[in-house]
Every structure is written in structure tokens, then in C-alpha cells.
Amino acid sequence: MVEGDVAPQVQEDDDEEDDETEELPVEPPTEESHPGYEYIQQEGDTEAKIELGEQLYFDPRISETGTISCNTCHNVMEGGDDSRPTAMGVHGQTGPVNSPTVWNSGFHHTQFWDGRADTLADQAEGPIVADVEMGMPDHEAALDRVRAVDGYVEQYEEVYGDEVESDDPEDLVTLEHTVDAIAAYERTLVTPNSSYDQYVEGDADALTEQQLDGMESFQELGCQSCHSGPMFSGQWDDPESGEGVYQRHPTFEDNPQCEEYVEEYDLMENPGRAGVTDDEADEYMYKVPTLRNVEHTAPYMHTGEVPTLEEAVRVMATCQLDEEPSDEEVEDITAFLTSLTGEYPEQEMTRLPAPSGESMIPADADAEFEDIEEEPEEDTDQVEADGGDGIPGMTIATAVIALAIATATALVGYTRRLDE
């Protein structure tokens, strides 16, 4: 764990070749390196809880179709995301924004692009019941799937049994405990010791010449005005949970080049934080995302439509800083950003506790959009009450379309070549 000022220092080692490096070529853009797991670890993050959280994180059986887990969209075997423009959930449906990385997400001070969850635990509640993600009709239905597995119930009892003084699965396997365990696992997903960290900790040779040039350009252009702090995601002075750093994107939408980007990458299709606060001042405001491991999270932007990191640098320079970076500057900054890739910790592959001889996924789980067809009114209300996250009043049309899709999919599925 690194706190406070950690000015770059010349590494004191016995390697004679390095002894001549007396001064660092440039100042690093932040004064702290990457804090470790200890920084975000919470009391009660026991091994048993982390293991339970990991199992839940990787368990697709908690989704409507049994195919989507947290890891589907936030793949820890990759850059903590899904390599896609926007996430794909049950029935091949896609959401409107790019999946943020789960790596180092424990350091964020707010969750989701629009900051509608304060904590990792709050965040984990959403996707389970989101129609375009895990698609469960409600949280109880998801918890019932978990309760059906004896192995899970035993683990919940081990982790939470003392707290609730009960061995009733209804008391043990609650939403609160479930997201608490998932968050405990997610906090362990920390990538230390990037080249940048090594540099800040005193190894002046950890960055290439191009990366150092890129670091200078990063400062000069002003990228740090938003991407500051050890996570390169904004303020970092022990903020409260829920206090994310937001920035309007695009800021300079009238810049002609930015206008083109807005058009090409659909940058203004989504209201941003205004969708949560219903406040016009929050229109197009987005959480400043971390730049840690950013080379592994293509494609970019909240719409996920920017295909390369170089292009992302161009878009940000133009739309956020009203600058026109040279090709060399873009290449250098991109090189610098790759120095933010940390070490992914080794993990044991988890085993999901299995029910004995019983089917977990109902045979009719493939009936698409069932809940919408059954409860159109209720759904519309919910959308409205949730602060305009969707477009109300489309429910009947949606049901008709849904039925068409269900029928068409069945037909197409029947006519297509099988390979299982």
C-alpha cells in the first residue's frame, strides 16, 4: 500500500549500469503509485467469503437462460471486460453502454458509467435483474436458484451463519449477502506493479523513451485534468463512497472534428448521468473511467464504438481538451498508456457447487421476454419510477415484437444446421 507523496526516486540497486541515472527524465503525472489490495480490503473479507463471491461471480446458472454470469461481460481472464462495443446478455440482447473493467473496480468511488451505484455491492444488484443482462424476473427468483444448491447454502451458512443466527436458506441466501460476497471477491481484483508503478517507485528504466515522451504529452495536453490520481480516474484524496468524478463528454462538441466523432461514434445517443438525476446539468456527464490496463479494454468510450486506443486518444484530445494532437503525440500517449498495464494475479479456477441430479434451469427458460408479455403495465411503471432509464410507453409494441422474435427464432433455430 502506498499513501501520500511518493516522489520518484532513483532506485538504489547494485546494478552498475543504472547507477548513472541520477534524475528522472520527467515528473510522473501523479504523485502516488497503485495502492494494493490492503487499501480496499474490508473487515470481514475472509477467504470463505471471497471464495463464495468468486463462485457467484462465475455462475451463469443465476441468469434466466443459465448462460450469463458476471464474468460474461466482465471477464477476468481478459481485461475485465468483454471485448465488445456494448454488453450482450440473455437472448442475444445488447445494452447501450460499454462494459467497464472489473479490474481495480474496488478503487472506484462510484459505479456504472452514470454513477447510479455507490458501491460494488450496490452495483452487483443491477445486472441480475436487468432484461438485457442476466434477465432474472426479480431478485428472489435468482436467490431461489442459489438456494436450490445445497453446497451454496452451506457456504452462506459458513460465511453469514453467525450473523443471522439461522440455518434457514431464506435467511442465509439473501440479496445483501450475495452482493456482499461478490463485492468481496471483486475487491481482490487488483493489478499491481505496472511499468508506470515501477517508474514512480524509482525505476527510471521502467518506461521506454517513447512512453516518457507520451507521459509528457499526456501532461501537456491536459489529460490529467480528469485522469488524475493513482487510478487515473480523478480525485484521490480518500473520497467517500458515491463521490465519483464526472465530466461532460463531449465537452467541446462544437469543435468540427469532435462533431464528426460525435456522429461516427454515437457519443451523444445516451443522456449520461442525467438519466439518473433527471437534472439537465448532468446531461452527457459520465464517470471518468480508470486508465489502468486500458490497452486491454478495447473498444472504447461509453458507446464502445471507438475501435483503437490511438483513436480514443484522438477523440479525447479533440472533444475534451479542444486540442489537435500530432500523430507523434497520439502514438506517444498511446505508448504511455500501455505502461499502465499491471500484473494480473494468478487465480485458482473456481468450482461451482452443483445440485445433485436436478435441473437448475427451467426447460422454458428460452421463452423470450416472458415477463414483459405477462406484466406490461407493471414494467412500464417500473421504468418510469427508475428515473427514465428506458423509454416508457413502448410496452405493447415491445410485446408484439418480442412475440415475433420468439416465433422467428424458433423457426430459424429449427432450420439451421446443428453442431452439438
Q: Which of residues 129-158 bind its own copies (CB under 8 A)?
A: 129-133
Stretch that binds its own copies, among 25-33, 183-191, 225-233, 342-350 (CB under 8 A): 342-350
Nearer to its own copies, 7 or 391 (CB): 391
117/130 Cα distance (integer angstroms): 14
Q: Which is nearer to its own copies, 131 or 216 (CB)?
A: 131
Q: Are 135 and 126 in contact (CB under 8 A)?
A: no
Whole-angstrom distance, CA of residue 100 vs CA of residue 111: 9
Residue 147's nearest CA partner among 180, 125, 182, 177 is 177
User: At its nearest, how many Å lie between its own copies and the CB of residue 85?
Assistant: 5
Separation between Cα atoms, residue 107 and residue 40, nearest integer Å: 7
Site string for its own copies, 315-334 (x = CB under 8 A): -------------------x
**Which range touches its own copies (CB under 8 A), out of 7-15, 35-43, 156-164, 294-302?**
294-302
**DSSP letters of 194-240?**
-HHHHHHTT-TTSS-HHHHHHHHHHHHHTGGGTS-TTTTSS--SSPP
- Binders of its own copies among 88-107, rule CB under 8 A? 88, 90-100
Q: Of these, 83, 166, 254, 263, which contacts its own copies (CB under 8 A)?
A: 83
Identify which of 350, 307, 413, 376 has the alpha carbon closest to the alpha carbon of residue 53: 350
Closest to its own copies by CB, 24 vs 306, is 306
Compute the distance between CA of residue 46 and CA of residue 159 in angstroms, rounded to an integer. 8
Half-sphere exposure of 6 (CA within 13 A, CB side): 20
- Longest alpha-carbon distance in the chain: 75
Number of residues that bind its own copies (CB under 8 A): 100
* Interface positions, 379-398, toward its own copies (CB under 8 A): 382-383, 386, 389-391, 394, 397-398
Reduced to 3 states (helix: H, G, I; strand: E, B; else coil), residue 104 is coil
Nearest distance from C-beta of residue 353 to its own copies, angstroms: 10
CA pair distance 181, 143, nearest whole angstrom = 13
Among 249, 338, 340, 342, binds its own copies (CB under 8 A): 338
Smallest distance, its own copies to C-beta of residue 365, A: 7
246 — phi, psi (to 5°)? -115, 155
**Shortest Cβ distance from residue 366 to its own copies (Å)?**
6
Q: Which is nearer to its own copies, 211 or 255 (CB)?
A: 211
In sequence order, what are the residues at sequence separation of 6 or more whose Cβ sits closer than 8 angstroms to the Cβ of residue 363?
Answer: none
**Any idea what DSSP says for residue 88?**
B
Q: Can you give 163-195 as a three-state secondary structure string?
A: HHCCCCHHHHCCHHHHHHHHHHHHHCCCCCCCH
- Interface with its own copies (CB under 8 A), residue from 296, 315, 320, 332: 296
Catalytic residue among 51, 54, 64, 133: 133
Q: Which is nearer to its own copies, 210 or 350 (CB)?
A: 350
Instruction: Give the shortest CB-183-to-its own copies separation in angstroms.
Output: 16
Residue 314 sits in the site that holds its own copies (CB under 8 A): no
Smallest separation, CB 11 to its own copies (Å):
26
CA distances from 274 to 114, 248, 261, 282, 394 (A): 8, 11, 21, 4, 21
Cβ nearer to its own copies, comparing 170 with 351: 351
Among 29, 35, 66, 325, binds its own copies (CB under 8 A): 66
CB of residue 373 vs its own copies: minimum separation in angstroms? 12
- Residue 131 or 186: the one with the smaller Cβ distance to its own copies is 131
Q: Is 73 in the site for its own copies (CB under 8 A)?
A: yes
Q: Which residues contact 100 (CB under 8 A, 6 or more apart)?
A: 74, 81, 112, 113, 289
* Residue with smaller CB distance to its own copies, 130 or 181: 130
> In whole angstroms, how close is the CB of 350 to its own copies at the nearest point?
6
* Contact flag: residue 4 with its own copies (CB under 8 A): no
Q: Alpha-carbon distance 306 to 383, whole Å? A: 29
Are 402 and 135 spatial neighbours (Cβ–Cβ below 8 Å)?
no
Choose among 196, 199, 183, 225: nearest CA to 294: 196
Of residues 347 through 376, those in contact with its own copies by CB under 8 A are 347-352, 354-361, 363, 365-366, 368-369
- Examine the residue annotation and report whether 133 is marked as an active-site residue of this protein: yes
* Residue 417 lies near its own copies (rule: CB under 8 A): yes
**Residue 342 engages its own copies in binding (rule: CB under 8 A):** no
Where do we find the cell 510522473? Answer: 28
Known catalytic residues are: 133
